[in-house]
Chains A and B, each alone.
Chain A
């Protein structure tokens, strides 16, 4: 069955292409990120060694995922972290609301977390009377305008400083207009510092969870991540269930390749290993640390040996920075929490391949993403697999929404195709018409124009191969 109400990436992308400011903002930012990453990997052999190691660590972690999650939960619980499981985003949101309400919390200050974006946590909490404020500078900027992140690492990269200057002068109380980036940053710092001190709770994401020690690892540059974890009296962390690794030693190479691939930094400014809430007799620091582990389709992805590679992702964003499509249309055109190549394989698997088959097809399969991926996720291969899943209902497949991306036109086209190919006489008639009149078919005709929108119309030969063979005879030299 075909799913209605699909989001059309092609139209959104076409619209984005007409915005020269947007294209300039992305082009400049992505060029910078590409060269910074390259500078971190002067020796391609060293890079490949580190990729091999990181891929092996992530693959092995996923191979033992259920056991590692159990081990992690036991250890974290022993350390005093309260672990919660959520199958859906709704469940995760309710869990967090419950934790906040049990402590009488009215305000939540947030470090950067893509999982919380996936849950649309801010909207949910606002609807229930709790203020959720983003503290990462980029996230703060987009929250002021009610936007979503356009990049998983640099959420406000679609805006330039003039746009941010105008926005701050309008939306921050007593703010003067300035295009000086240091001054803009200082304004945000001032507003957010006050909020940090007043907030009842802090929320953070998790980059890696270590099973053997029950530790949460948090990578960040601004200091807001660590503030979210120890300035307010309550700390809630959220993570996808794929984030766990077995041993602490495995974190070092993953961290090294994450920051290099993401922002071209050898290390981030801060790297925090959080194992327990405040100790007995301490006056500050979180009294309770809660961890919400979200599934949201991940265990379904995990169940498929090929698609499981999707879960190796460490969210560095390198695939976006190098994608010829993403760098031209920007992140918002995808209308998805995770944009770019990783989003093209992750979003359809979470929301259904039929609903988001526009994303699966929004790729030239050039392979740049797989070439830079620090954990070697074969994104083009997975895209091809998902293209098949969107139109077929294979018995062994576990893919969300399989077969629902097939349109009635597509269905009828293949039926007619099969009908013609099964009958040689009919086939010859069809080919006779195509060779004689195919040229006359206008490029703007319905169906044909889907192809000719960005390509020249293919013109059939004057005579079919069969006709020529009959007329000219076969040569066997």
Chain B
């Protein structure tokens, strides 16, 4: 059990992210399937889902998911992401102190699925939650990675009368799926 989870959840929810925790991969996948259905993901226009597949998904599983969810694709393009309703990606680290997700986003598809669709579902292993930013910067070195994203909650602005508005250019909803037994399934 990761001792930082509760702090992470509190901070992430304070900035309007939704946090769910599951013990294993199967439970997490079942949740994502149900969520995609509930969100109305289908092969109709503007209703698709784009998944920037990480180690969390083996090839066989992605075939199975694609069969179950019409409109879900693992081939991420700029246009596809812009037209999608949900983007799904796997994160590398999280920061408990601020409720932040961190991702080596060298592959541009990871940036596209977390920016363009109105809903972003982010997967993260519970043991990947670190205390602070310093710990992350020791592990993710930008001299080896083209792009690193730190994401804390959904897109927001307060440019009109300082009224908080969620979902400006980026997603209006950020669903964080924390999985306890993450490493063993991705090893």
Contact = CB atoms under 8 A, between A and B. Distances in A.
Interface of A: 25, 28-29, 32-33, 75, 79, 135-138, 141, 154-157, 159-161, 164, 181-182, 184-185, 188-189, 192-193, 196-197, 210, 212-215, 221-224, 226-227, 230-231, 248-249, 251-252, 255-256, 263, 266-279, 282-285
Nearest to B109: A284
Contacts of A135: 169
A212 B107 CA distance: 22
Contacts, number: 177
26 contacts: A157-B159, A161-B160, A181-B160, A181-B163, A185-B157, A185-B167, A189-B169, A192-B169, A193-B169, A221-B156, A222-B156, A230-B111, A231-B78, A231-B112, A249-B137, A251-B137, A270-B151, A270-B152, A271-B100, A271-B150, A272-B150, A273-B145, A279-B107, A282-B107, A282-B108, A285-B108
Contacts of B115: 223, 226-227, 230-231
Given A193-B82, A197-B79, A272 B147 contact: yes
Leading 10 A-B pairs by shortest Cβ distance:
A223-B170, A285-B108, A138-B159, A271-B150, A223-B169, A276-B146, A273-B148, A222-B168, A223-B155, A213-B143
A230 B97 CA distance: 28
Contacts of A213: 141-143
B116 to A, nearest CB: 8
Nearest to B14: A266
Contacts of A279: 106-107, 146
B152 A137 contact: no
Contacts of B155: 221-223, 269-270
Contacts of B143: 75, 79, 212-215, 275
B161 A269 contact: no
A196 B112 CA distance: 12
A215 B167 CA distance: 27
A32 B159 contact: no
A197 B78 CA distance: 8
Given A137-B168, A255-B133, 12 more contacts: A75-B143, A137-B157, A157-B162, A159-B160, A181-B163, A181-B165, A189-B168, A267-B98, A269-B151, A270-B170, A273-B145, A284-B78
Contact of B147 (A141, A223, A273): A273
B62 to A, nearest CB: 19
A161 B162 CA distance: 10
Contacts of A161: 160-161, 163
Given A154-B158, A222-B156, A275 B146 contact: yes
